[in-house]
Amino acid sequence: DAGVTQSPTHLIKTRGQQVTLRCSPKSGHDTVSWYQQALGQGPQFIFQYYEEEERQRGNFPDRFSGHQFPNYSSELNVNALLLGDSALYLCASSLASIGIHEQYFGPGTRLTVT
Amino acid sequence: AQKVTQAQTEISVVEKEDVTLDCVYETRDTTYYLFWYKQPPSGELVFLIRRNSFDEQNEISGRYSWNFQKSTSSFNFTITASQVVDSAVYFCALSESLANAGKSTFGDGTTLTVKP
């Protein structure tokens, strides 16, 4: 039973560029949440997708957008990258009927913006 | 606004010592949920426990125990007889409701190092 997977593992981008991060949820899960974790800080909620729609959103600008596909996998897109976007991006999946508290996290994508 | 404070940035203990990680929270909600997560060097957050605001019973799971006290807005985590494998960053988190647990507010974490 595959857990949550994320790709790529590491990524280096230049300011102003755009990036796409990918997440495959745990088998059987239908909800995907994205978090940003800056160095030395706790994760911050970006948004959550369920049934291919954004269901909840944290305090992140519109430069952060996402998508969920029919197979429940998800993408996080960040436009016009800033140095401050450098962070570990975590994806978490869950099953809506059980509740979001039963979240399973992936290993994350380390994004470095230079 | 919700806030979670983990005052201990780093803790270092020797194997077999007991260690307590502190968590203090702030919320105006009467119904809320508290969580502890473990983040080993691999980076994946591992869910440890969830507690709702109506259940102040302490919980023990093996070497782990949690002490929830609404009177002091604290949700402390104790590891008994620590082991090297317990070395990780531990996060406390607060959510206003279970349905919104994806919007949890996390503390900045406590880095625990257990030396052999």
**Average pLDDT per consecutive 10 residues, chain A (114 residues; last block may be shorter):** 90 98 94 93 93 91 97 97 97 76 86 98
Higher pLDDT, B50 or B79: B79
Pick the residue from chain B with its C-alpha nearest to A38. B108
Contact A43/B91, CB-based, under 8 Å?
yes
Please, are residues B56 and B72 in contact by the beta-carbon 8 Å criterion? no
Residue range B91-115: mean pLDDT, rounded: 85
Instruction: Decide if A50 touches B, using CB distance below 8 A.
Output: no
Q: What are phi and psi of B101, to 5 degrees?
A: -60, -20
In angstroms, the first-to-last Cα distance of chain A is 37
A45 vs B contacts (CB less than 8 Å)? 102-104
Query: What angle is formed at CA B54 by the lines to CA B8 and CA B19, rounded to 5 degrees?
Result: 25
User: What residues contact B25, with CB distance under 8 A and at least 6 apart?
Assistant: B2, B3, B4, B5, B34, B73, B74, B75, B92, B94
Please, are residues A47 and A110 in contact by the beta-carbon 8 Å criterion? no
Instruction: Decide if B55 touches A, using CB distance below 8 A.
Output: no
pLDDT tens by residue, B47-61: 898 888 888 888 888
A104 vs B contacts (CB less than 8 Å)? 47
Instruction: Decide if B24 touches A, using CB distance below 8 A.
Output: no
Contact A101/B101, CB-based, under 8 Å?
yes
Spatial separation of the C-alpha atoms in residues A31 and A95, rounded to whole Å: 6
Number of Cβ within 10 Å of residue B53's Cβ equals 16
Spatial separation of the C-alpha atoms in residues A102 and B47, rounded to whole Å: 8
